[in-house]
């Protein structure tokens, strides 16, 4: 069965100027997919704008109206990191809608798996606050849609962006219907994501945070996936896996201090795809989050599609870190998280 991609040129209308999260990111990805002819192997999923009702599955109505009002006046800065333009509201509702459409295509059997190539990103956006370049929480909205509109009962979200997805965590902190797992550099923006943040009430234990020290690369990430994420997801047995796919943990990305390679990201996606095939009939939807070195981002997304398509021979034009620093010791951290979540 086919692999889908959700994309609409409207995402380029979120004009952030010289901001690190800019339209050039998607242009680089599309150029890479077209140059390598991978796009010819993909099924296009036309996004639609999310409705206010769908946005309100996660966000306060007053917040949604406030974002629209700012944008209708020409845009501006919402905080020190997050800027909008006159096209930002349209792009943002289409970003949330793109994630929803990808979920509908996968759960409806139109494609085996899908990647929503959207912007602005979403995982930092809370119910009533824009932050970290994010306006609406695309993955959280898609998860809520799957639960409330499509009749699913258990959704897993795996977030491998280098930053903790505080907004996604907040949306489901007390909700046992969503398993939220995050690997992230720590301590780092936005400051959340400690191991002790495990959910509350009925959702206790359904939030799994894996805060990693700077300098972690392929070996450390694969250790975490194999020893923590795989057993946690297997135990949860989701009916759908969503991925907050941020590639800013790449060694060449100046926004963070991790050392993952394109090959490492491909292996991560391979593990996640294997879980989806084992547990939920292959139902897997990724949504683009971070990644700010255009070459690394485009190559990593292309490698992701290769894995989703089942293509062999991953291309890694940037290779491993040129001078790998001493590998951080994370075995004690891994063991402590396994103990916290009863995996030991």
Among candidate residues 178, 179, 184, the one with its CA nearest the CA of residue 211: 184
Neighbours of 294 (CB within 10 A): 17
Say if residues 174 and 199 touch (Cβ distance below 8 Å): yes
Of 14, 124, 163, 250, which one is the catalytic site residue?
Answer: 124
Q: How far apart are CA 85 and CA 320, in angstroms?
A: 37
The answer to whether residue 124 is catalytic is: yes
Is residue 299 helix, strand or coil? helix
Calpha distance 173→178 (Å, rounded): 9
Give the tokens for residue 103: 């979920």
Strand order in the sheet with 240-245: 42-45, 3-6, 113-116, 284-288, 240-245, 155-159, 178-185, 207-212
Residues in the chain: 344
Known catalytic residues are: 124
């Amino acid at each position: 069965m086919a692999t889908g991609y959700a994309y609409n040129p409207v995402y380029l209308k979120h004009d952030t100027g010289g901001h690190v999260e800019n339209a050039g990111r998607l242009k680089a990805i599309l150029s890479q997919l077209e140059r390598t002819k991978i796009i010819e192997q993909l099924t296009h999923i036309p996004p639609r704008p999310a409705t206010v009702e769908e946005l309100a599955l996660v966000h306060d109505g007053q917040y949604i109206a406030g974002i629209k009002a700012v944008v209708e006046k020409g845009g501006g800065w919402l905080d020190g990191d997050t800027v909008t333009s006159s096209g930002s509201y349209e792009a943002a509702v289409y970003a949330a809608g793109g994630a929803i459409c990808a979920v509908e295509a996968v759960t409806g059997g139109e494609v085996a798996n899908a990647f929503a190539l959207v912007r602005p990103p979403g995982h930092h956006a809370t119910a009533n606050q824009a932050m970290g370049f994010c306006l609406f929480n695309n993955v959280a909205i898609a998860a809520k849609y799957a639960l409330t509109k499509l009749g699913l009962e258990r959704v897993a979200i795996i977030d491998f962006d280098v930053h903790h997805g505080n907004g996604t965590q907040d949306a489901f902190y007390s909700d046992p219907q969503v398993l939220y797992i995050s690997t992230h550099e720590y301590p780092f923006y936005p400051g959340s994501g400690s191991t002790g943040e495990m959910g509350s009430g009925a959702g206790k234990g359904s939030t799994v945070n894996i805060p990693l020290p700077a300098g972690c690369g392929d070996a450390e990430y694969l250790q975490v996936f194999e020893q923590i994420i795989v057993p946690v997801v297997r135990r949860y047995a989701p009916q759908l896996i969503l991925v907050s796919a941020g590639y800013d943990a790449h060694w060449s990305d100046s926004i963070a201090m991790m050392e993952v390679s394109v090959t490492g990201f491909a292996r991560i996606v391979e593990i996640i795809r294997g879980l989806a095939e084992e547990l939920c009939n292959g139902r897997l939807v990724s949504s683009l989050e971070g990644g700010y070195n255009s070459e690394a981002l485009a190559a990593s997304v292309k490698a992701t599609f290769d894995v989703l398509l089942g293509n062999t021979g991953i291309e890694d034009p940037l290779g491993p870190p040129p001078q790998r620093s001493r590998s951080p010791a994370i075995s004690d951290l891994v063991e402590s998280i396994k103990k916290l979540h009863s995996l030991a």
